[in-house]
Amino acid sequence: MLFSKLAEYFEQLDHTTSRNTLVAILADLYSQCDQSEVRPITYLLQGRLAPFFKPIEIGMGINYVADAIGKAFGVDRKHVMQVFDRVGDIGTAARQVQQEAGKELSMEETPTVLEIFNQLMAISQVSGQGSIEKKIGMFADILQKLDPRSVTYICRIPVGTLRLGVGDPTILDALSFAKSGDKSLRKPLERAYNETSDLGLIAETLWKDGIEGVEKLSIMPGNPVRPALAERLPTPEAIINRMGQCAVEKKYDGFRCQVHKIGNEVKIFSRNLEDMTGMFPEITSGTLAMVDAETAIFEGEALAYHPLSGEFLPFQVTTKRRRKHKIEEAAQELPLKLFAFDILYKNGENLMGMKYVDRREILANTIKGEDSLIVSDWVIADNVEKLMEVFNEAIESGLEGIVAKRLDSPYQAGARNFNWVKLKRTHAGQLQDTVDCVIVGYIYGRGKRAQLGAGALLVAVYNPDKDTFQTITKIGTGLTDEEWKEVVERCKPYVTEEKPARVESIIQPSVWVEPAVVIEVLADEITRSPVHTAGMNGEKQGYALRFPRLVSFRESDKRPEDATTVQEIIEMYQQQAIKQVAS
């Protein structure tokens, strides 16, 4: 397939908002692929050269891409940036500069997808002295071989603004349609993706070995497993009534880490599948010293603590450990302890299908001693009093609350269900939980707010069934002047002139923002709303958060698709109604 043909499909996706149409376009694209192309094309659809957990990046920001555009078409960076400032998109700017220079190529003259992909991969591997100049030259060489449409889309890849409006669920549906004509393959494809986190591998295996080959794919050390997630229930009574006898763990508010030990190598992945190994040297050394296994995959929560008092510090402090420079100094100032709570794999054996209690026993026999790694405590409770005893201990220790787990539950990768249920600390006399939202726009405001750049945020929750982000509230209070400035700065790389394809909104903000920045929001209650699209269905009103306040930024450990789902909002609304009747 010529790269120009792929760019045609990119353009179709870019101008489509209907999910069914997106799936149809992708299915048609995949039907044109041969076995050698399907894997790289899948990564390119994700705006990547490799799975999210592999730190393979082209390594060129806006300025360097602008340098390459200038070098390719005979102008300087200043002119490219002037066009970019005017149009607001580096791809569109590149296309205009190419057209101004009269260096347009026809679609038939462009290289193949594999040739372009391999050249991009070669750029990502350039390092050392003079690497930036070499990258710029190599990228300029690519641009000189491409037609205007292809130039537009390839320039967006290095800066993370491909914005095709498709998420992983949409791609999984398209793979199923391409091979079977319907969604019948979606479930096994999704299971394999949850356990390997490599969408390109899934696609290639489907082409090479069929769905039978995909069904053989499973958990493997080195590939992060998409984490199991907890549901919510409003009260301790509701937990006991639903689960009966259950295990109760304290809920830590830190970095959720999945640790992979492969011989003498350690890999540490975040909740959103990012490789964080280099950031946490104490967890790496602790794993090598304390884990009695040749290969193992286990999960835990990493918290910063005060080395003198032993006091655990809040997430806002813990997050300061997320850095790429002066890591050893940071480890001395803010050391981490990892509280391990589950094990998924040991010495070649997949443990995910085993009962929770059996996995816990294996975990206790795998981590020897207590230092930077600690096996978290758990208590079996069969009544409200016992559950509340653990809950109160957690709150007194400055922790978030508890997680209750079914004793016989398997580990279900990527699933959010009632095998695990969380209960958080009290707020205003009631047990409440925060909501993870995604910023999809902001409104300028008036007076002082206008000077700060934003006066209200339009935020959304995630609908995995539709692979869209549906608005749930506007946030206009509770932020300091500095926080408003920080919001604008964080959103700047994702600002777009048109409503993003994956956003469903009735409200028109001053500025649209691609779903990327995740925030934690606390609100008084959930209400029905005629203006917000979360849960809206025909004439049925949507849901909204009442009196929302921004608690923290969470995009460092959560992808947009990790945000609270619409179904969770509906369940929280129903639980809220039950509590109000009971009171």
Catalytic site positions: 251
d(C-alpha 482, C-alpha 479), whole Å:
8
Q: Which two tokens stand for residue 359?
A: 């996995």
Closest residue by Cα to residue 256 from 74, 400, 138: 400
Sign of the CA dihedral with 405 first, then 410, 412, and 417 last: negative
Please say whether the beta carbons of 509 and 473 come within 8 A.
no
Contacts for 63 with CB less than 8 Å, ≥ 6 apart: 77, 81
For residue 415, give the 3-state DSSP assignment.
coil
- Is residue 422 annotated as involved in ligand binding? yes
Q: What is the dihedral of CA 3, 9, 13, 18, to 10 degrees?
A: -160
Can you list the alpha helix ranges (DSSP code H) found in 291-372?
A: 315-318, 327-333, 356-366
CA distances to 29, 512, 519 from 558, rounded to whole Å, are: 30, 21, 9
Main-chain phi, psi angles of 266, to 5 degrees: -125, 135
In angstroms, how far is CA 250 from the centroid of its own chain?
24
**What length does the chain have?**
583
Closest residue by Cα to residue 220 from 352, 109, 107: 352
- Is residue 271 annotated as involved in ligand binding? yes
- Is residue 416 annotated as involved in ligand binding? yes
For 476-509, letters b (16+ CB in 10 Å) and e give eeebeeeebeebbebbeebbbeeebbbbbbeeeb
Please say whether the beta carbons of 262 and 221 come within 8 A.
yes
DSSP classification of residue 476: -
Closest residue by Cα to residue 289 from 376, 377, 366, 375: 366
Closest residue by Cα to residue 38 from 151, 116, 114: 114
Cβ-based neighbour number of residue 241 at 10 Å: 11
Contacts for 387 with CB less than 8 Å, ≥ 6 apart: 236, 239, 240, 246, 248, 381, 402, 404
Residues within the annotated binding site for ATP? 249, 256, 271, 301, 341, 416, 422
